[in-house]
Each structure stands twice: as C-alpha cells, then as structure tokens.
Amino acid sequence: MKLNYSTLAFSIVAVVLGSGRSYAQEGYAPMGSPYPAGAPAPYNPAGMPPAGMQPGYPPQAMMGAPGPMGAPGQMPGPMGPMPGPGPGPMMGGPAPYAHMAAANAHGQMNPGMQYGGPADGSMYEPAGDYVQYENVTGAACDDGCALPPRAYGSFDTLVVWRQGGNYPPILTTSDPADLGVLGAASTRVLFGDGYETGDAGLGGRITLGLWLDDYQNWSVGGRFLALEEEGANYSTNSNEFSTLAFPFFNTNTGMQDSVVVALPGTGTNAADNTTVSLNNENTVYMGDFFVTKHIYTNHGNRWDFVTGYSYAKVEDRFGINAQYTVQDLAPPGGLATGDMVALSDNFSATNEFHGGQFGLIAEFQDGPFSWRALGKISVGGMKQEATISGQSTVNGAFRNNAGIYTNSANEGSYTRDQFAYIPEVNVDMIYAYNCNLDFKIGANFVYFSDVVTGATMINTNVQPGALPTDPQFSFIEQDFWIVGMTLGMEYHY
C-alpha cells in the first residue's frame, strides 16, 4: 500500500488544532466553583448555610472584626478600615446556588472575583456550564441537582452520504457496428469510468457513559454506530438501449473487446429481451470504548482529552447480472437461437479495523445553548478480505463458473493486513431542554485511509478461452469517507 503521508499529517494536525466534544461523551463540564480551591461554599448541598455563616453573606474570613450583635463591623478597604456589616441578624439574601457543593481543586475565578463574590458586587458566576443555567433557585432543578449527573446516554439519527467505489468502465452502449467497444467513435459509458455514488442513507448511533467523579473529570463509556445498506445501483434493458455490452481488454489479441448482451438483428452477437442490473451494497459499523480526562475549564467552556479502543467494519459488494435471449442464427459455444443466457459476477469485500484512538473534545456554552465539537484519529490495523465468484446458466441450467469479469483465473478468496488511520470530526449544536434532557443537531465526517471495495476488485483485462490466465486479482488501495447530518437527544441522570 502507498501511504498518503500528507493526509495522515493533516489528520493529526486537525486533531491537535481542532476542537471537539466527542460523539461518545455526553456529560456536562466539571461543576466548578466560584470559590477558591478548598473553600466552603456559602450553602451546602442541603441548602443550609455552613456553621458560622449567615444567609446572604460572604464568609467571615473576608469580614473585619465582628461588632456587637447587629452592629457594624470592620472591613478592609483601599484607604483603611471601612464600616461593614457584622454577623448580626440581618435579612437573608437569595441563595442562587443553594444546591452547589464546593469543587475542591477545580474551582474557577472570574477576573476580580473576591472570596465570597465579585469585587463589583454582582451575583456569583459559576465556572461550570451545568450550574450556570440549571442550579439556580427557582429553576426546574432546584430540588435535587446538588451535583452534576453521573450517567449519560444519547441516541442519534444520521443522514449520510458515502464515497462510492472507483469503477473501471463496466457497461457501454454504441451504434450496432461498434459493439460497445471502448475507443470506438459511438461508444458511450453507461456505468463506471470513475466514482459511482448512491443516494443518502440512514443510520443510528447509541452512546452510554459514566462519570467517575462528582465533578466530571474522568469519564468512561462506549458507542456503537450502524449505517443502513446503501450503494450505487444501475439497471437498464434492450428497449432503452438496443446495443449493450461489457467492455474488456482482450489479452489474447492485445485489443479492446466486449461481451455483447444486446444487439439488434440476427447476425453475429445478436440478442434481445436483455436486462442488466448492477448492484452495489455498502454497510458501515463503528464502535469504541473510551476514556476522557478533563484538561481545562474556563467558566462554561471546557476541553477534554479522549482515548481508548476503536473498531470499524466496512462491507462492500458489487454484483453484475445480465440476461438475454440469443438471436444469432449461428451462435458460438454450443448455444442455439432462442436460448436464454444469464451471466453473473460477484465481488465482495470486508474491511475490519482494530486500533487505538486519541483526540480533543471542546464544549462552549452560552446559556441553555452549547457548541460541542470533536477532533480525533484512530490508528491501527485493517484486515481486508476479498471474495470473487461468477456463474453462467443457459435456460436456467448451470453452464460454468465464469461470468463476464470472473473465471478460474481470479475466483477465490484473498486476505491482507494493512496499516490504516481513521480521522473523525463531529460538530453539534445542543439545546438543554431541562436539567436531564438535551436536543441536538450536528454534522459528522469520518475518513478511512485504506479500504477494499467491490469496485477495486474488478480487473477488465480478460483472456477468453478454456484455461484463462486473466483476469488476475490484486488489492488496489482506495480511500473512503462518510459525511452527513445528525439529529438526536441526550439524557443525563
């Protein structure tokens, strides 16, 4: 295999510079705390002030010497001591974070933040996205969200497009005299001679995970994705094109040739009642087990590192089926006028990847909305298996194990192991419907550096005859990608 080092280098740089909130990580940012590490919050998770602290006041550590009950105390100021409230019985203030526990060693402070509140006297601004809009007195979570959720799960519906196979010219039409031979003046390719791509397909992805601590610093979980069977398909008949042929290079003569399956008249190669069906089927499965580690938080924004085990499987099949009625008055090979001939080729490929993954995850929040993105790459081994078979029948009876591009020279099963890498980028926009349920919409891109497909298994160098030595099989490298949109929901508990 010829490794595309520029693509690999670009993928690694994209992971390092790109940001991402992984398809596999569905939790919130670490809770954070507006108080210095190790300091008590002004309210405990039960909603009661800690010992020695009055409702609505900062901790006594920031107060001056206490005055008599209800009398002013002393607070430090830029020009010396300033009068300030003492710990006497005063009207209790609001408890905006009555259910937020202190997050030792993970607190964040805004510029100008003082012990007990911002210097400008504004309301405390929490560091984590979870408390920023959900742990506020009077909100839906006021009665039970002392800490962020520990378990999470999501389900996504995907609408994706896939890169099709890179086919040689497979099916042609022409004026009857040119017999669909490549290079002839009237020959036109109906299928092949480049990439053939099918329609958009559907898929599903499920994720389950668990945070290992109360402040969402470590996470473990798993994800599984499956795309429905989809591919490039084409069908036609002799009513639409009176001349139909499968072109090949004849290694006996060293010239372009063709297998004619539709030709008007009663002369050489004449045939009608022809139907041709070309079918490509492609399926994709992906899964992983992941570990994430929180590495940086700034208010409602966070960065995480993700690593773990990655698995992928890409299956691709291409089949050729042609059926026609012989109209040649002197057909070759023991055929008779009026015989119904059926030809079929099958090219099946399986690519199975095992490797490790690493990447960066980022989440940026603005109130109940947040942007989540992922940049990661999986590196490992791709086991590739190719199977080729063909068959011919006459009037429904078996004739031989040879089709159009298949015969004894290339039929069989072949395997090889290749180094491969799979970069992935995801971007989601998320809306927090409540403290447990989120809705999201996003985009997804996955690239496979090396896969074998049914298209790459076709060799159009054919030797007609009883003991052919062509076509020969060889693995041909092809990259592959999927791109699309996602629509899903997440649940946190």
Q: For position 18, which CATH number holds? A: 2.40.128.90
pLDDT score of 481 more than 50 = yes
Which phi and psi (to 5°) does residue 457 adopt? -85, -10
Exposure string over 200-224, b if 16+ CB within 10 A, otherwise e? ebebebebebebeeebbbebbbebe
Residues in the chain, overall count = 493
Cα–Cα distance measured from residue 27 to residue 96, given in angstroms and rounded to the nearest whole number: 23
What is the reported pLDDT for 333?
79
In a domain, 47, yes or no: no
Q: What share of the chain is helix, strand, coil (3-state, %, to 5)?
A: 5, 50, 45
Q: Is the Cβ–Cβ distance between 204 and 225 less than 8 Å?
A: yes
> Of the segments 28-37, 82-91, 298-307, which one has the largest average pLDDT value?
298-307
Confidence bin at 138 (pLDDT 50/70/90): very low
Confidence bin at 334 (pLDDT 50/70/90): confident
Give just the sign of the alpha carbon dihedral 18, 19, 22, 23: negative
Cα–Cα distance measured from residue 106 to residue 217, given in angstroms and rounded to the nearest whole number: 9
Q: Is the Cβ–Cβ distance between 197 and 217 less than 8 Å?
A: no
The pTM score is 0.72
Report helix, strand or coil for 358. strand
In a domain, 77, yes or no: no
Residue 169 half-sphere exposure toward CB, CA atoms < 13 A: 21
In a domain, 55, yes or no: no
- pLDDT over 90, % of the chain: 62
How many domains does the chain divide into? 1
Confidence bin at 220 (pLDDT 50/70/90): very high
In a domain, 353, yes or no: yes
In a domain, 311, yes or no: yes
More confident residue, 6 or 424: 424
Residues forming beta bridges with residue 437, ordered by sequence position: 491
Q: pLDDT (tens digit, 9 = 90+) per residue, 237-292?
A: 999 999 999 999 999 999 999 999 999 999 999 999 999 999 999 999 999 999 99
Q: Across all residues in the chain, what is the average pLDDT?
A: 78
In a domain, 36, yes or no: no
In a domain, 265, yes or no: yes
Residue range(s) defining the domain that contains residue 202 = 5-26+149-492
- R_g of the chain computed on alpha carbons: 34
Residue with token string 């039929």: 411
Report helix, strand or coil for 161. strand
In a domain, 76, yes or no: no
What is the reported pLDDT for 231?
87
pLDDT score of 51 more than 70 = no
Q: Is the Cβ–Cβ distance between 477 and 450 less than 8 Å?
A: yes
